[in-house]
Amino acid sequence: MRLSLNSRLSAISALLPALLVMLVVYIGATSWTVWMSLTNSRMLPNNNFVGLRQYAMLFNNDRWITSVHNIVIYGVLLVSLALLIGFLLAVAIDQRVRAEDTIRSIFLYPYSMSFVVTGLVWQWLLNPTLGIQHVLRSWGFEGATFDWIVRPETAIYCLVIAGVWQASGLVMAIMLAGLRGIDDEIWKAARVDGLPKWRVYVSIIIPMMGASFATAAVLLSTAVVRLYDLSVAMTNGGPGIASEVPAKFVMDHLFERANIGLATAAATTMLITVIAVVAPYLYWRARRGEVR
Amino acid sequence: MAQPLPAARRPKRMTPARWGLYAFIFIAALYFLLPLYVMVVTSLKPMAEIRQGNLLALPAAPSIDAWVKAWTSACTGLTCQGIKIGFLNSLRILVPSVVISILIGSLTGYALSLWRVRGGNILFGAMMVVAFIPYQVFIYPLVRVFSFTGLGQSLLTIVIIHTIFGLPTMTLLFRNYFASLPVELFKAARVDGAGFYQIYARIMMPMATPMIVVAVILQTTGIWNDFILGLVFAGRDNLPMTVQLNNIVNSTQGERAYNVDMAATLLTALLPLVVYFGSGRWFVRGIAAGAVKG
């Protein structure tokens, strides 16, 4: 349909805020961040170009290396555990169980709560003097030890426990929608062939649910890169720097340690990582016609 | 999703496999409910009972003192006026942010779905990409821009920020919804001589009520649960509840009042929980629709 000049102007006026946000905020701020990462800005941004020196310093920085190390551990474990648990929960609920609505609500409610709340709750549960360790000992398991949160080498796994608790329900919801979308004929055909149920899941259903797995995995991984609140609320990066994460590294160096060059180099590294994950995914979805 | 199933399809006999299934669900449910249970019982216990007793035990003498203290007199850093300050701040941030972000997002989605604007697809594609980018990439330049414009850290700033970062998801939500409506509707309105904004206000928005509900749920929980944007952009007088809660819990000197801390945490989680349990399947639709944002 041809548009009159008047409606064309109206449409453009409606898009003006979005266009402005895109150019000024998203593209403008990103370019500025990338530019600052190439300067030796400390407390205030300056324009002294130093090439990739900040990146060299970044990857020689212990705190950053710890952060990257942590986010890899957290990311791999969170994504695989949440996918596994979420899928198992969805399969369990899909077996025509009683009180399905209640059970589903129980699995998903943590997702409605903030990372700050999640972090604080699990901080208490994992606290050795009051939490789960204390309960186990009071039940007579005198030697029970569960002090991961106060030990540097295990603190990051505590973040995984809390993260899985928060996110598995989301995976369950996505997977349940996928399972319910599978044609009943497939189940009938498999029953005629005499395949055991688990075999049908492994050989037929899981391969058919590629889209659900991809969506859940991308959602979880982008949440992994953003991980900040949970670390702040649960351990504040500690003990020491044991549970530092990249997003926290950026925030600390921007606002407390006044090292803008280093912080923006870290932020740019995060940006590149996210685009490397997300661009192929969005391209794949666009090819399948989901995002036109 | 989740069609109600005819009861006849549910197996009647409890086979060992069914027992195993229910055992798995039961154990999983315990893991998911444990934190909520611990928060509730601890918030009802006096400190002496917490120190000696068992985390899982029911309170011997339940009292709501800790709730009253958390609400009215817990110390959030410098002041000791309780979490209610944060609650009110969060509300003041929430309401305008939700309304404005939905207005602008729906208008953008409408313009991008039904009107062929040159470059519209590029704009939309770019928005989908930026929806995934961590805030850390934008934060410092935005702080500088807002301090340059004189807005600094304020209520207006944080509302603008939530609108900006809500825009990609809201646009996606409404664009896909409007694109799914029968195009004849739109054509008929055009033939009758309705203009761009008339069609938006009189036809499209009234038809979009289900999407508006989903958008309100998505934005309400998202904005209420935000921590980092409130911390950076709201300013000391407007800090949202999540930030104040973290201050109460993680900066207390001396012995920690676990019962007060847990009451404050429950109060902070209350609104998202009410939205979640009150909206049922709408919440699932919301997260499925907002799935692109993460």
Which among B117, B128, B287 has the least Cβ separation from residue A173? B287
Q: How far apart are CA B77 and CA B248, in angstroms?
A: 7
Contact assessment for residue B294 and residue A219, using Cβ atoms and an 8 Å cutoff: yes
**How confident is the model over B113-165, as pLDDT tens digits?**
888 788 888 898 888 888 889 999 999 999 999 999 988 899 999 999 999 99
Query: Which residue is associated with the tokens 């646009």?
Result: B171
Query: What residues 165-194 of chain A have any CB closer than 8 A to a CB of chain B?
Result: 165, 169-170, 173-174, 176-177, 180
Interface test with B, best of A121, A168, A273, A275 (most B CBs within 10 A): A121
Which among B1, B137, B280 has the least Cβ separation from residue A33? B137
Residue A290 has what pLDDT?
A: 54
CA distance to partner chain B, nearest, from residue A197 (Å): 11
Q: Do A32 and B110 touch (CB under 8 A)?
A: no
Question: What per-residue string of b and e applies to B98-108 under the rule 16 or more CB within 10 Å gives b?
Answer: bebbbebbbbb
A75 touches B: beta carbon within 8 Å: no
Q: Do B246 and A132 touch (CB under 8 A)?
A: no
Q: How far apart are CA B3 and CA A281, in angstroms?
A: 30
Residues of chain B contacting residue A264, judged by C-beta atoms under 8 Å apart: 140
The residues that bridge with A39 in the sheet, in sequence order, are: A49
Q: In tens digits, what is the pLDDT along chain A, a chain of 292 residues?
A: 455 677 778 888 889 999 999 999 999 999 999 999 999 888 888 888 998 999 999 999 999 999 999 999 999 999 999 999 999 999 999 988 888 889 999 999 999 999 999 999 999 899 888 888 888 888 878 777 787 888 888 899 999 999 999 999 999 999 998 898 888 888 888 888 888 888 889 888 999 998 889 888 888 987 898 899 999 999 988 788 889 999 999 999 999 988 999 999 999 999 998 888 888 888 887 777 654 3
Residue B255: pLDDT over 80: no
Higher pLDDT, B11 or B19: B19
Residue B8 has what pLDDT?
A: 44
pLDDT band at B274 (very low <50, low <70, confident <90, very high): very high
Residues of chain B contacting residue A138, judged by C-beta atoms under 8 Å apart: 54
Q: Do B187 and A1 touch (CB under 8 A)?
A: yes
Tokens found for residue B240: 């949202």
- Among all residues of chain B, which has the CA nearest to that of A32? B141
Residues 6+ apart with CB under 8 A from B141: A28, A29, A32, A33
B133 touches A: beta carbon within 8 Å: yes
Q: Answer whether the bond into residue A239 is a cis peptide, omega within 30°.
A: yes
Q: Do A93 and B25 touch (CB under 8 A)?
A: yes
SS3 per residue for chain B: CCCCCCHHHCCCCCCHHHHHHHHHHHHHHHHHHHHHHHHHHHHCCCHHHHHHCCCCCCCCCCCCHHHHHHHHCCCECCECCCCHHHHHHHHHHHHHHHHHHHHHHHHHHHHHHHCCCCCHHHHHHHHHHHCCCCCHHHHHHHHHHHHHCCCCCCHHHHHHHHHHHHHHHHHHHHHHHHHHCCHHHHHHHHHCCCCHHHHHHHHHHHHCHHHHHHHHHHHHHHHHHCCHHHHHHCCHHHCCHHHHHHHHHHCCCCCCCHHHHHHHHHHHHHHHHHHHHHHCHHHHHHHHHHHHCC
Q: Do A109 and B2 touch (CB under 8 A)?
A: no
* Range B57-64 average pLDDT: 86
Residue B77: pLDDT over 70: yes
Query: What residues 42-101 of chain B have any CB closer than 8 A to a CB of chain A?
Result: 42, 50, 54-56
Residue B3: pLDDT over 50: no
Residues 6+ apart with CB under 8 A from A95: B21
Residue A108 has what pLDDT?
A: 92
In this prediction the pTM is 0.90
B197 touches A: beta carbon within 8 Å: yes
B195 touches A: beta carbon within 8 Å: yes
Q: How far apart are CA A192 and CA A189, in angstroms?
A: 5
Residue A92 has what pLDDT?
A: 93
Q: Do B5 and A96 touch (CB under 8 A)?
A: yes
Contact assessment for residue B194 and residue B270, using Cβ atoms and an 8 Å cutoff: no
Contact assessment for residue B116 and residue B278, using Cβ atoms and an 8 Å cutoff: no
What would the DSSP string read from start to end of chain A? -PPPHHHHHHHHHHHHHHHHIIIIIIIIHHHHHHHHTTB--SSS----B-TTHHHHHHTT-HHHHHHHHHHHHHHHHHHHHHHHHHHHHHHHHTTT-TTHHHHHHHHHGGGGS-HHHHHHHHHHHH-TTTSHHHHHHHTT-TT----GGGSTTTHHHHHHHHHHHHHHHHHHHHHHHHHHTS-HHHHHHHHHTT--HHHHIIIIIHHHTHHHHHHHHHHHHHHHHH--HHHHHHTTT-STTTT--HHHHHHHHHHTS--HHHHHHHHHHHHHHHHHHHHHHHHHHHHTTS--
Higher pLDDT, B18 or A73: A73
